[in-house]
Structure 1
Amino acid sequence: MTSTLAQPSVAGWTAPKLSVVVPTFNERDNIVPLIDKLETVFAGVPFEVIVVDDNSPDGTAELAKTVAGERPHVRCIHRIGRRGLSSAVIEGMASSAAEFVAVIDADHQHDESILPRMLSEAEGGADIVVGTRYAGEGSSEAGFTKGRQTGSTIATRLSQLLTGKALSDPMSGFFLLRRELFNAVVPGLSREGFKILLDIIVSANRKRGGITIAEVPYSFRPRHAGESKMSPLIAAQFLGLIVSQISRGVLPTSFLLFSLVGASGVFVHLATLTFAFDMLGFNFANSQLVATLVAMTTNFILNNELTYADKRLRGRRFFTGLLSFYLVCSFGTLANVSVASIIYEANLANFFVAGIAGAVMSVVFNYSVTRTFTWRS
């Protein structure tokens, strides 16, 4: 005897042609007005909105879910324990079954009215369509402070060197592409950082040997509500992405940040050693011990806030993580000394080169082990 499961009716439902991914963190006041605007510009066009929220404390995800319960073309991916714009965009795009996917910020600085034209360009053959602030009638003055404008200009020029494309706005967070192109490049994309378009373009060029990019100009607007997410962390992660791409992914962005934090620890160590020895009158051994503990502690705090911002440890996990960091770095120091000594005593290099080799060994060891045990996902 066979049983037949009742199939849900799909009468009146049309598969979306376009998925609009909206990464969010503390954007509660912006979500509903943005969805309203998207509904206006895509009247008659089957589309969906995918809100990817990083567990915003202001209740963005809860509001998005409420809207999704009322509007069938809205979905919410509520991420717990994961943070970062690039990884949010990747997760949103990966959940789409539409032919085309777009990314737009939730703060209304991107002009949603050009999305139909961007879609038309993609339907006409473009692999990626970028909303640009720096070509044609596009402008960015209204949405940037003078300082951010200067930073954006410098970052754009660096990005143009990397992409090798005559692209006016490679730093744009407003773009649209074919989903099959995303599927082809996603295994090699970095989940770290905030500038995913640059990563997609470079990865697609390497994967396919050339892609077609179209640009649609728009005027960058002031933020509608909430606060900007721009910070020194974003700038550091961008520079890390540039170096990572130049190395073709051999040096991950997180490793570069980890190394920079380690370099800052050298200065902290020397400053603390001098203070303890000269000012506090400690003997050298005790001064060295204090300096080592202070340097490891500051390194842990900086890595927790910068390198692993998406896995940031809080509360009790902060202190257990700190203890594991102390332990790992102690073994890293042994690895440093051992490797340097072996190289020097075997006459393979002078003391300076041997010291560098030991330091590199220590950084690689500490990075690999702490990533696995201290800041495990």
Structure 2
Amino acid sequence: MVFGAPPPVGSDLPLGTGISIIVPTYQEVDNIPHLLKRLEVFRAQYDAPVEVLFMDDDSQDGSVEAVAAAGHDWARIITRTENRGLSQAVIEGFTQAKYPVLACMDCDLSHPPEALPQMVLGLRAGQQMVIGSRYVPGGSTDDDWGIGRWLNSLVATLLARPLTKVRDPMSGFFVLRKSDFEAADWLSPVGYKIALELIVKCGLENVGEVPIHFTDRVHGESKLTFKEQLKYIQHLRRLYLYKFSNMMYLAQFLVVGMSGVVVNLSVLSVLSVMGLPDWICLAGGIAVSIVTNFLLNRRFTFSYARDGAILRQFVSFVGACAFGMVVNYVVALTVRNNLGDDGTFTLQLAALAGIAAGMAFNFLGSRYLVFRKRFVKKP
């Protein structure tokens, strides 16, 4: 069964539509012959042409010779020496594929080729992507999955939930139309979760899932390192910024603003301990916090603009902050005058209103004036 949203009526993938299977590899020479044997069975049963592209990140372990030794004219290996990485390999493979249906699967035999016919059937029924899923009814993993590995997968899936309702967005086993892939908006994956990147950047809302049994690798070593897990967090941040841009920019701007308060108070306290006059302490705290806020916002909050002219951006940022302080003061004074003299915390409430107004202005000024995205080219 294919799980997902009800597919539209009709299909643009009739019987006889060819499929290109992309297999990213790095030091998988022991697994290549076994995978090719299983794909040979799939090819014999499939009702259309099949090609298999091994996208190898210059393993130099005999992978090229292993593919050649199999002697299949429908399987070839492409050695990649630049821009290496699993997601980049898949994207390059999809670009070079010649058939309308694209499939991605791992070489370590964890993904069963036997599930491909059912997955392609989902595309023919109208799904935009079909995933081989561990987490829908009927899906499973090997019994020796430890609690740490299970928790790691669960947390990674939950972190991706705001981006998609797919139950197994971490899966590296999926099929989609090449036309949907080619319609993607600026693919920029980090790490190994290419399916999640495609779901978000291709705007795929009708994603089906086919249950599979995920088998642990027998030959070779896993490429999932702690470094790759950190890359996943970086990838999630990029996707959140893409899908929820203003909300994410505001959240990061507020975090940087809070750090500026800490910097301000710390510098002020140090200068005060040094015996400097109060006005110098206050000015020093403000000056340093403005510089740190600017650098952090430029580096993290609005990272797309960090290659811009830094001096011009800094002058604009200072101007925006100065005007924001004026807005802060005017709003706070207006609210204070309208609240009257009753109440213990009227001054504090007015101050909070001013801070909120000033912060909002600073954010809008930074987002649309200081770090103007329309002048920043996508890489």
CA contact (8 A) 1:23 1:88 kept: yes
Partner Cα distance (2:376, 2:56) in 1 = 25
- 1:16-66: CA deviation from partner (whole Å, max 9, x where unpaired): 943232345xx32x2x2332232111216232124163xxxxx42786556
Q: Counterpart in 2 of 1:42?
A: 39
Matches within 5 A, 1:1-377: 17-23=18-24, 27-28=26-27, 30=28, 32-43=29-40, 45=43, 46-51=50-55, 53=57, 59-60=58-59, 73-76=75-78, 78=80, 80=82, 82=83, 85-106=86-107, 108=108, 110-118=110-118, 121-122=121-122, 125=125, 127=127, 128-140=129-141, 145-157=146-158, 159=160, 162-164=163-165, 167-183=166-182, 185-186=183-184, 188=185, 190-193=187-190, 194-201=192-199, 211=206, 213-221=208-216, 224-229=220-225, 230-238=228-236, 240-242=238-240, 244-245=242-243, 247=244, 250=245, 262=256, 266=260, 269=263, 273=267, 277=271, 284=281, 328-342=309-323, 345=326, 351-352=354-355, 353-362=357-366, 365-366=370-371
CA contact (8 A) 1:134 1:169 kept: yes
Indicate how the Cα distance of structure 1 residues 231 and 158 shifts in structure 2: closer, same or farther if over 3 A, else same.
closer
Q: Report the residue type matching 1:358 in the other structure.
A: N
Partner Cα distance (2:295, 2:221) in 1 = 37
Indicate how the Cα distance of structure 1 residues 75 and 258 shifts in structure 2: closer, same or farther if over 3 A, else same.
farther
Q: CA deviation at 1:134?
A: 1.4
Question: Which shifted more, 146-155 or 361-370?
Answer: 361-370
CA contact (8 A) 1:338 1:358 kept: no
CA contact (8 A) 2:133 2:139 kept: yes
- 1:234-271: CA deviation from partner (whole Å, max 9, x where unpaired): 134325524633x3xx5599x79986985686478458
Partner Cα distance (2:325, 2:79) in 1 = 54
Partner Cα distance (1:16, 1:273) in 2 = 67
CA contact (8 A) 2:253 2:297 kept: no
CA contact (8 A) 1:332 1:363 kept: no
Secondary structure of the residue aligned to 2:214 is coil
Partner Cα distance (2:366, 2:119) in 1 = 49
Q: CA deviation at 1:117?
A: 3.9
Partner Cα distance (2:260, 2:98) in 1 = 49
Partner Cα distance (1:190, 1:93) in 2 = 12
Partner Cα distance (1:279, 1:148) in 2 = 51
CA contact (8 A) 2:31 2:109 kept: no
CA RMSD of aligned residues (A): 4.9
Partner Cα distance (1:341, 1:154) in 2 = 42
Indicate how the Cα distance of structure 1 residues 233 and 214 shifts in structure 2: closer, same or farther if over 3 A, else same.
closer
- 1:118-168: CA deviation from partner (whole Å, max 9, x where unpaired): 45535753643211111344324657553442343244356556545xx43
Gaps in structure 2 of 5+ consecutive residues:
1-15, 44-49, 333-353
Across the two proteins, how many residue pairs are aligned to each other? Answer: 319
TM-score by length of 1: 0.62
Partner Cα distance (2:148, 2:375) in 1 = 36
CA contact (8 A) 2:88 2:189 kept: yes
CA contact (8 A) 2:268 2:284 kept: no
Indicate how the Cα distance of structure 1 residues 139 and 119 shifts in structure 2: closer, same or farther if over 3 A, else same.
closer
TM-score by length of 2: 0.61
CA contact (8 A) 1:20 1:101 kept: yes
Q: Percent identity?
A: 19
Indicate how the Cα distance of structure 1 residues 289 and 109 shifts in structure 2: closer, same or farther if over 3 A, else same.
farther
Partner Cα distance (1:335, 1:74) in 2 = 54
- 1:293-340: CA deviation from partner (whole Å, max 9, x where unpaired): 78888889x86xxx79xxxxxxxxxxxxxxx96995554332222124
Higher CA-based Rg: 2
Q: CA deviation at 1:103?
A: 1.5
Indicate how the Cα distance of structure 1 residues 294 and 220 shifts in structure 2: closer, same or farther if over 3 A, else same.
farther
CA contact (8 A) 1:18 1:100 kept: yes
